[in-house]
C-alpha cells in the first residue's frame, strides 16, 4: 500500500505524481497556484483527492485496464469533464485508456477512484446490473440525490480513515477491506436504479443464503470475508443478500460479518499478552482499517473497550462489582 500527502506550486508537478495517469495539467488563470494531493493505492484500487487554487485544464488518458470515477466533493465554480457540466450531484466515468479533457474550477475538490475493470465487471454481473462504462460513457450518471450524498460522505470517511491508519501499510486484510468498502459504496450508487430480479425468493432460499454465508466466513480463516465476497461466491446481488439477512437474521449482512470479525479480534486479544499484540495490529489483522469505528463497534458488541479486554496472563483494566 502507498499513501502520499503532497502539495505543489506547479500543476504539472501535481500531474506527474499520479501513477498510471498519462496527462498534462495547465494552469489557465493568473496567480500563484497551490495544489494539494492525497492519494492511497492498494492492489486493484487507486484513490486520490485533489484541490487547486487556480483554474486548471487537464488533458490525458485514463489508466489502462481500469474504470475511473470522478466524484465532485466541492465545486465552487463552473467545471466540465468531457464537455459535460461537472456539478455536485453528478458522477462521471472514464473507460480504460479513454482520452479526456477536464476543466477544473478554482478551489474545486475532487475524489477520483480508479478500479480494476475486470473486478468491477464481475461484481456488476453478480449483482445482475446492466450498467457498464461503455454504455454510459457519453453521459454523466445522475443518481438519487440522497443516496449519492450518503455515498459521498461514506467514501470520504473511508478514504480519510485509510490515510490515518498506520496498520494499513502492513495488513493485506485491512487493504482488502478498504478496497471492498470503497467498491461497495460505489456499487450501491451504480445499481440504485436497477430492478432486483430476485424479489420472489422463498424463506428456504433466504435461510440457505444466510447459512452458506456463515460457512464461507468460517472457512475463510483469518482473511476477512466481505459482502462483496459473498455476492461473488453466491452469485447474488447486494440487495438480495441484504433482504435475506434482514428476513432470517434480523440484521444486515455487513453487521453479521462485522460481529464475526470483532469476535475474532477479541479472541486474538484474549489469547496474547499486551506486549506481543497491539490493539491496532489485532484490528488490522481482521480487516478493521477505521480504528475509531472499530473501537465504537467493539464496545457496542461486547460492552467494553478493547483496552479493557482481559489479555493472556493478565486481567481487565477495569472490573465490575
List pLDDT tens digits, range 43-102.
999 999 999 999 999 999 999 999 999 999 999 999 999 998 998 888 899 999 999 999
Task: Give 139's pLDDT tier (boundaries 50, 70, 90).
Answer: low
Q: Where are the beta strands (DSSP E) in the chain?
A: 2-8, 22-27, 35-42, 45-52, 56-61, 66-74, 80-81, 84-85, 92-94, 99-104, 109-116
Contact 198, 240 (CB under 8 A): yes
Q: Which of 104-118, 173-187, 289-303 ranks highest by mean pLDDT?
A: 104-118
Provide Rg for the chain, Cα atoms.
Answer: 22
Pick the CATH number of 195-308 from 3.20.20.10, 3.20.20.140, 3.40.50.300, 1.10.10.60: 1.10.10.60
Residue % of the chain over a pLDDT of 90: 56
- Tell me the backbone φ, ψ of residue 104, rounded to 5 degrees: -100, 135
Q: Where in the chain is the domain with CATH 1.10.10.60?
A: 195-308
In angstroms, the CA 175 to CA 58 distance is 30
Cell readout for 10 is 506547479
Length of the chain: 321
- By the 10 Å C-beta count (0-12 exposed, 13-18 middle, 19+ buried), 218 is classed as exposed
Cα(183)–Cα(102) distance, integer angstroms:
24
Give the span between the Cα atoms of 55 and 296, in whole angstroms: 41
Q: What is the pLDDT of residues 266-312, one digit of tens each?
A: 999 999 998 899 998 898 888 787 788 899 999 999 999 999 999 98
CA-wise closest residue to 95 among 140, 129, 64: 64
Residue 321 clears pLDDT 50, i.e. is over it:
no
CATH number given to 2-118: 2.60.120.10
Q: What is the model's pTM?
A: 0.79
Instruction: Report strand pairing: 80-81 vs 66-74.
Output: unpaired
- The boundaries of every CATH 2.60.120.10 domain in the chain are 2-118
CA dihedral 114, 116, 121, 122 (to 10 degrees): -140
Average pLDDT, the chain: 87
Amino acid at each position: 500500500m502507498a499513501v502520499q500527502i503532497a502539495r505543489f506550486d506547479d500543476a504539472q508537478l501535481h500531474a506527474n505524481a499520479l501513477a498510471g495517469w498519462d496527462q498534462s495539467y495547465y494552469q489557465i488563470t493568473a496567480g500563484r497556484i497551490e495544489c494539494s494531493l492525497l492519494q492511497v493505492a492498494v492492489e486493484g484500487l487507486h484513490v486520490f483527492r485533489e484541490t487547486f487554487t487556480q483554474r486548471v485544464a487537464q488533458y490525458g488518458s485514463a489508466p489502462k485496464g481500469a474504470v475511473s470515477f470522478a466524484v465532485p466533493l466541492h465545486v465552487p465554480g463552473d467545471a466540465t469533464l468531457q464537455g459535460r457540466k461537472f456539478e455536485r450531484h453528478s458522477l462521471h466515468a472514464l473507460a480504460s485508456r479513454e482520452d479526456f479533457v477536464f476543466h477544473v474550477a478554482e478551489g474545486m475538490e475532487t475524489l477520483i477512484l480508479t478500479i480494476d475493470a475486470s473486478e468491477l465487471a464481475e461484481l456488476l454481473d453478480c449483482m445482475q446490473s446492466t450498467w457498464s462504462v461503455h454504455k454510459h460513457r457519453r453521459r454523466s450518471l445522475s443518481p438519487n440525490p440522497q443516496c449519492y450524498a450518503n455515498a459521498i460522505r461514506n467514501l470520504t470517511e473511508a478514504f480519510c480513515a485509510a490515510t490515518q491508519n498506520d496498520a494499513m501499510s502492513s495488513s493485506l486484510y485491512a487493504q482488502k477491506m478498504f478496497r471492498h468498502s470503497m467498491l461497495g459504496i460505489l456499487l450501491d450508487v451504480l445499481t440504485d436504479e436497477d430492478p432486483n430480479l430476485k424479489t420472489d425468493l422463498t424463506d428456504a432460499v433466504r435461510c440457505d443464503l444466510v447459512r452458506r454465508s456463515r460457512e464461507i466466513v468460517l472457512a475463510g480463516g483469518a482473511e476477512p470475508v466481505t459482502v462483496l465476497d459473498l455476492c461473488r461466491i453466491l452469485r447474488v446481488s447486494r440487495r438480495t443478500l441484504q433482504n435475506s439477512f434482514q428476513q432470517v437474521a434480523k440484521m444486515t449482512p455487513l453487521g453479521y460479518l462485522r460481529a464475526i470479525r470483532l469476535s475474532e479480534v477479541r479472541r486474538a486479544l484474549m489469547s496474547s499478552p499486551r506486549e506481543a499484540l497491539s490493539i491496532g495490529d489485532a484490528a488490522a489483522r481482521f480487516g478493521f482499517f477505521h480504528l475509531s469505528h472499530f473501537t465504537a463497534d467493539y464496545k457496542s458488541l461486547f460492552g467494553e473497550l478493547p483496552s479493557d479486554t482481559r489479555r493472556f496472563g493478565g486481567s481487565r483494566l477495569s472490573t465490575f462489582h
